[in-house]
Amino acid sequence: MTLPEFRKTLATALLAVGFVLLPAGGGVMADGPLSADELQAEIERFEGLGAEHSRAGFPELPPGITPFAKWRRINTERLQGKEVYVFDKKVRIWKTMFCGRKADVFIELSLMDRKGNQVPFAWQQCLVDCQDGGFCGAETKLFIDISGDGYPELMIPEMGALGKMKKGFLQNPRFVFEKDIIPLWLKRAFGPELKNLATIGPRDSVAAWKDHPLTAKPEEKGGEP
Protein backbone atom coordinates (compact mmCIF):
# COMPACT_ATOMS: atom_id res chain seq x y z
CA MET A 1 0.00 0.00 0.00
CA THR A 2 1.42 3.37 -1.03
CA LEU A 3 1.01 6.46 1.14
CA PRO A 4 -1.63 7.93 -1.20
CA GLU A 5 -3.53 4.63 -1.05
CA PHE A 6 -3.19 4.59 2.75
CA ARG A 7 -4.47 8.15 3.02
CA LYS A 8 -7.41 7.42 0.71
CA THR A 9 -8.35 4.28 2.67
CA LEU A 10 -8.16 6.12 5.99
CA ALA A 11 -10.13 9.09 4.64
CA THR A 12 -12.87 6.73 3.45
CA ALA A 13 -13.03 5.03 6.84
CA LEU A 14 -13.18 8.37 8.67
CA LEU A 15 -15.86 9.70 6.32
CA ALA A 16 -17.99 6.66 7.08
CA VAL A 17 -18.20 7.70 10.74
CA GLY A 18 -18.58 11.43 10.10
CA PHE A 19 -15.00 12.75 10.04
CA VAL A 20 -13.45 14.66 7.15
CA LEU A 21 -9.71 14.48 6.49
CA LEU A 22 -8.44 17.76 5.06
CA PRO A 23 -5.61 17.87 2.48
CA ALA A 24 -2.20 18.04 4.11
CA GLY A 25 -0.10 21.08 3.33
CA GLY A 26 3.32 19.49 3.74
CA GLY A 27 3.53 16.16 5.47
CA VAL A 28 0.99 13.45 4.98
CA MET A 29 -1.87 13.82 7.47
CA ALA A 30 -0.71 17.30 8.59
CA ASP A 31 -4.39 18.01 9.33
CA GLY A 32 -5.10 14.52 10.56
CA PRO A 33 -7.78 13.08 12.84
CA LEU A 34 -6.09 13.96 16.18
CA SER A 35 -5.61 17.28 17.92
CA ALA A 36 -2.28 18.14 19.54
CA ASP A 37 -3.71 17.38 22.98
CA GLU A 38 -5.07 14.03 21.83
CA LEU A 39 -1.75 13.13 20.27
CA GLN A 40 0.10 13.97 23.48
CA ALA A 41 -2.34 11.86 25.46
CA GLU A 42 -1.67 8.95 23.11
CA ILE A 43 2.08 9.34 23.57
CA GLU A 44 1.65 9.23 27.35
CA ARG A 45 -0.69 6.23 27.13
CA PHE A 46 1.77 4.19 25.11
CA GLU A 47 4.72 5.31 27.20
CA GLY A 48 2.81 3.79 30.09
CA LEU A 49 2.98 0.50 28.17
CA GLY A 50 6.76 0.81 27.89
CA ALA A 51 6.95 2.54 24.50
CA GLU A 52 9.72 4.88 23.40
CA HIS A 53 8.67 8.00 21.48
CA SER A 54 10.64 9.54 18.62
CA ARG A 55 9.35 12.40 16.46
CA ALA A 56 12.14 11.67 13.98
CA GLY A 57 11.08 8.05 13.59
CA PHE A 58 13.35 5.02 13.84
CA PRO A 59 16.28 3.82 11.71
CA GLU A 60 14.73 0.36 11.35
CA LEU A 61 11.84 1.93 9.39
CA PRO A 62 13.08 5.04 7.59
CA PRO A 63 10.53 7.55 6.19
CA GLY A 64 8.85 6.40 3.02
CA ILE A 65 9.00 2.64 3.51
CA THR A 66 5.71 2.30 5.46
CA PRO A 67 3.03 1.36 4.71
CA PHE A 68 4.89 -1.33 2.78
CA ALA A 69 4.41 -1.52 -0.99
CA LYS A 70 2.64 -4.62 -2.30
CA TRP A 71 5.70 -5.81 -4.22
CA ARG A 72 7.51 -6.32 -0.90
CA ARG A 73 5.04 -8.98 0.27
CA ILE A 74 6.50 -12.42 0.89
CA ASN A 75 5.06 -14.97 -1.52
CA THR A 76 2.20 -17.08 -0.19
CA GLU A 77 4.07 -20.30 -1.06
CA ARG A 78 6.65 -19.47 1.59
CA LEU A 79 4.16 -18.93 4.42
CA GLN A 80 3.79 -21.56 7.11
CA GLY A 81 1.69 -21.71 10.27
CA LYS A 82 -1.78 -20.74 11.48
CA GLU A 83 -1.13 -18.12 14.17
CA VAL A 84 -3.70 -15.39 14.80
CA TYR A 85 -3.31 -12.00 16.52
CA VAL A 86 -6.21 -11.03 18.79
CA PHE A 87 -7.25 -8.06 20.91
CA ASP A 88 -10.23 -7.87 23.25
CA LYS A 89 -11.29 -11.46 22.38
CA LYS A 90 -13.24 -10.50 19.24
CA VAL A 91 -10.89 -8.18 17.34
CA ARG A 92 -8.72 -9.89 14.73
CA ILE A 93 -5.51 -8.01 13.95
CA TRP A 94 -4.46 -8.84 10.40
CA LYS A 95 -0.84 -9.62 9.54
CA THR A 96 1.11 -9.24 6.31
CA MET A 97 4.77 -10.27 6.04
CA PHE A 98 7.09 -8.02 4.04
CA CYS A 99 10.74 -7.76 3.10
CA GLY A 100 12.30 -4.51 4.27
CA ARG A 101 15.04 -2.46 2.64
CA LYS A 102 17.90 -4.43 4.20
CA ALA A 103 16.48 -7.91 3.49
CA ASP A 104 14.96 -8.05 6.98
CA VAL A 105 11.39 -9.21 7.54
CA PHE A 106 8.62 -7.13 9.09
CA ILE A 107 5.00 -7.97 9.80
CA GLU A 108 2.54 -5.17 9.10
CA LEU A 109 -0.43 -5.15 11.49
CA SER A 110 -3.78 -3.77 10.38
CA LEU A 111 -7.51 -3.71 11.01
CA MET A 112 -9.98 -4.63 8.26
CA ASP A 113 -13.20 -2.75 7.62
CA ARG A 114 -16.48 -4.20 6.39
CA LYS A 115 -15.52 -3.52 2.77
CA GLY A 116 -12.34 -5.57 3.08
CA ASN A 117 -9.94 -2.61 3.26
CA GLN A 118 -6.99 -3.10 5.59
CA VAL A 119 -5.68 -0.03 7.44
CA PRO A 120 -2.12 -0.62 8.75
CA PHE A 121 -1.07 0.87 12.08
CA ALA A 122 1.95 -1.09 13.39
CA TRP A 123 5.02 -3.02 12.23
CA GLN A 124 6.68 -5.93 14.01
CA GLN A 125 10.41 -6.40 13.40
CA CYS A 126 11.06 -10.11 12.97
CA LEU A 127 14.88 -10.33 13.13
CA VAL A 128 14.54 -12.80 10.27
CA ASP A 129 16.41 -12.64 6.98
CA CYS A 130 14.13 -12.41 3.96
CA GLN A 131 16.02 -15.01 1.94
CA ASP A 132 16.63 -17.54 4.72
CA GLY A 133 13.23 -17.17 6.36
CA GLY A 134 12.34 -18.19 9.89
CA PHE A 135 9.85 -17.63 12.71
CA CYS A 136 8.79 -14.17 13.86
CA GLY A 137 8.63 -14.36 17.65
CA ALA A 138 7.07 -11.96 20.14
CA GLU A 139 10.41 -11.01 21.68
CA THR A 140 10.91 -8.51 18.86
CA LYS A 141 10.21 -4.76 18.57
CA LEU A 142 6.80 -3.35 17.65
CA PHE A 143 6.59 0.06 15.94
CA ILE A 144 3.28 1.95 16.13
CA ASP A 145 1.80 4.82 14.13
CA ILE A 146 -0.16 6.98 16.59
CA SER A 147 -0.86 9.94 14.31
CA GLY A 148 -2.33 8.20 11.26
CA ASP A 149 0.34 9.40 8.83
CA GLY A 150 1.70 5.96 7.90
CA TYR A 151 4.94 6.43 9.89
CA PRO A 152 5.67 4.91 13.32
CA GLU A 153 6.42 7.38 16.11
CA LEU A 154 6.52 4.84 18.94
CA MET A 155 8.47 1.66 19.56
CA ILE A 156 7.71 -1.12 22.05
CA PRO A 157 11.07 -2.84 22.79
CA GLU A 158 9.44 -6.28 23.16
CA MET A 159 6.00 -7.07 21.79
CA GLY A 160 5.74 -10.04 24.13
CA ALA A 161 5.39 -7.64 27.06
CA LEU A 162 1.96 -6.68 25.70
CA GLY A 163 0.42 -10.16 25.70
CA LYS A 164 1.05 -13.87 25.37
CA MET A 165 0.71 -16.76 22.95
CA LYS A 166 -2.16 -19.11 23.78
CA LYS A 167 -3.35 -22.41 22.34
CA GLY A 168 -6.90 -23.47 23.09
CA PHE A 169 -8.71 -26.71 22.30
CA LEU A 170 -9.38 -26.95 18.55
CA GLN A 171 -8.10 -23.40 18.09
CA ASN A 172 -5.19 -22.01 16.13
CA PRO A 173 -2.35 -20.55 18.21
CA ARG A 174 -3.19 -16.98 19.20
CA PHE A 175 -1.07 -14.11 20.33
CA VAL A 176 -3.50 -12.26 22.59
CA PHE A 177 -2.75 -8.58 23.17
CA GLU A 178 -3.65 -7.96 26.81
CA LYS A 179 -2.78 -4.27 26.45
CA ASP A 180 -4.65 -1.90 24.15
CA ILE A 181 -2.40 -1.19 21.15
CA ILE A 182 -5.13 0.23 18.89
CA PRO A 183 -4.35 3.94 18.32
CA LEU A 184 -7.08 6.50 18.86
CA TRP A 185 -7.07 7.62 15.21
CA LEU A 186 -7.81 4.05 14.14
CA LYS A 187 -10.58 3.61 16.69
CA ARG A 188 -12.07 6.84 15.40
CA ALA A 189 -11.85 5.61 11.81
CA PHE A 190 -13.73 2.41 12.68
CA GLY A 191 -16.39 4.12 14.77
CA PRO A 192 -17.73 3.58 18.31
CA GLU A 193 -16.87 0.11 19.57
CA LEU A 194 -15.19 -0.49 16.19
CA LYS A 195 -18.62 -0.90 14.57
CA ASN A 196 -17.16 -0.78 11.05
CA LEU A 197 -14.77 -3.65 11.74
CA ALA A 198 -14.96 -6.64 9.39
CA THR A 199 -17.18 -9.42 10.68
CA ILE A 200 -14.35 -11.96 10.25
CA GLY A 201 -13.18 -12.72 13.77
CA PRO A 202 -10.29 -14.58 15.42
CA ARG A 203 -12.17 -17.90 15.35
CA ASP A 204 -12.87 -17.79 11.62
CA SER A 205 -10.72 -19.78 9.22
CA VAL A 206 -8.77 -17.50 6.88
CA ALA A 207 -6.36 -18.41 4.07
CA ALA A 208 -2.67 -17.71 4.68
CA TRP A 209 -2.47 -15.25 1.78
CA LYS A 210 -5.05 -13.05 3.50
CA ASP A 211 -3.79 -13.24 7.09
CA HIS A 212 -0.15 -14.24 7.10
CA PRO A 213 1.19 -16.68 9.71
CA LEU A 214 4.47 -16.08 11.53
CA THR A 215 6.90 -18.30 9.61
CA ALA A 216 8.50 -17.76 6.21
CA LYS A 217 10.14 -20.79 4.64
CA PRO A 218 13.54 -20.29 2.97
CA GLU A 219 13.46 -18.76 -0.47
CA GLU A 220 13.93 -21.30 -3.21
CA LYS A 221 17.14 -20.79 -5.14
CA GLY A 222 16.51 -18.51 -8.07
CA GLY A 223 13.06 -17.50 -6.81
CA GLU A 224 11.66 -14.15 -5.83
CA PRO A 225 11.25 -13.22 -2.12
What pLDDT is attached to residue 80?
Answer: 96
As a whole number of angstroms, the distance between CA 11 and CA 181 comes to: 21
**If the chain, 225 residues long, is cut into consecutive pieces of 10 residues, what is the mean pLDDT of each piece?**
59 50 34 81 97 94 92 95 94 96 92 96 96 95 95 96 87 94 95 94 94 94 52
Is residue 72 within 8 Å of residue 98, measured between CB atoms? Answer: yes
The domain limits of the chain are 3-216
Tell me if residue 174 falls in helix, strand or coil: strand
As a whole number of angstroms, the distance between CA 35 and CA 39 comes to: 6
What pLDDT is attached to residue 11?
Answer: 53
What pLDDT is attached to residue 34?
Answer: 86
Position 107: which residue type?
Answer: I
What pLDDT is attached to residue 169?
Answer: 72
Q: DSSP strand E in 7-141: where?
A: 52-53, 79-80, 84-87, 91-99, 104-112, 118-129, 134-135
What pLDDT is attached to residue 166?
Answer: 92
As a whole number of angstroms, the distance between CA 6 and CA 68 comes to: 10
